[in-house]
């Protein structure tokens, strides 16, 4: 058996190595995404483990990852990566040919409806569609053509300096 190279996380809590013990990686990713019900299982993330990481000792986080939220019937996908200039960017992933005129209109609910995200219609994926995107990311650490990225501009606002401080 080869050493696992990717980490998965469910609902922002349970993390572990992506394994192919029972089924190939592509089928394992698809199987997991098909279990998403928006209630007990509503978010999934995937990232590459650092070179030489001992996954039996600890499960490290990464600055770059792919994630989704929702249900097997309606998932919103995002990817976070560090650009060549060193700045992190988070992107919504969409299918080709979508219309971005106006504001996003499709609401994806998760965590028993306590949270939601709004995306464009072409940014809603089924578990089967998302599995293809996740598996390509697993192989390449990138979102490939024909999928499109929309920058989410998630930078935190810079706090205003307190008056009287100088």
The pLDDT assigned to 13 comes to 77
pLDDT digits (tens, 9 = 90+) for 69-96: 999 999 999 999 999 999 999 999 999 9
Q: Torsion over CA of 145, 116, 64 and 19, rounded to 10 degrees?
A: -90
The pLDDT assigned to 155 comes to 59
Handedness of CA 63, 121, 143, 150 (dihedral sign): negative
- Tell me the pLDDT of the chain (166 aa) as tens digits: 345 578 888 887 778 888 888 899 999 999 999 999 999 999 999 998 877 776 666 777 788 999 999 999 999 999 999 999 999 999 999 999 888 889 999 999 999 999 999 999 999 999 999 999 999 999 999 998 899 999 998 755 544 554 444 4
The pLDDT assigned to 15 comes to 80
Residue among 128, 120, 72, 68 nearest 96 (CA): 120
Residue among 112, 92, 106 nearest 37 (CA): 112
In angstroms, the CA 126 to CA 132 distance is: 10
List the structure tokens of 55. 């996954």
Residue among 24, 125, 120, 18 nearest 69 (CA): 125
Find all residues with CB under 8 Å of 84, minimum gap 6, and list them: none
In angstroms, the CA 8 to CA 31 distance is: 13
In angstroms, the CA 4 to CA 28 distance is: 13
In angstroms, the CA 20 to CA 63 distance is: 24
In angstroms, the CA 34 to CA 74 distance is: 11
pLDDT digits (tens, 9 = 90+) for 149-159: 999 987 555 44
In angstroms, the CA 36 to CA 127 distance is: 8
């Amino acid at each position: 058996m080869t050493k696992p190279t990717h980490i998965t996380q469910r609902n922002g809590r349970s993390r572990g190595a992506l394994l192919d013990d029972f089924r190939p990686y592509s089928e394992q990713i698809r199987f997991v995404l098909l279990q998403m019900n928006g209630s007990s299982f509503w978010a999934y993330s995937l990232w590459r483990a650092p070179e030489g990481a001992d996954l039996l000792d600890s499960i490290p986080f990464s600055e770059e990852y792919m994630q989704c939220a929702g249900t097997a019937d309606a998932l919103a996908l995002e990817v976070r990566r560090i650009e060549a200039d060193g700045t992190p960017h988070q992107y919504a992933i969409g299918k080709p040919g979508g219309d971005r005129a106006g504001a996003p209109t499709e609401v994806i609910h998760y965590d028993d409806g306590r949270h939601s995200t709004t995306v464009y219609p072409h940014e809603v994926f089924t578990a089967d569609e998302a599995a293809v995107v996740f598996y390509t990311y697993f192989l390449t650490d990138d979102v490939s053509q024909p999928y499109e990225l929309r920058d989410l501009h998630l930078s935190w606002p810079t706090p205003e300096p307190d008056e009287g401080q100088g």
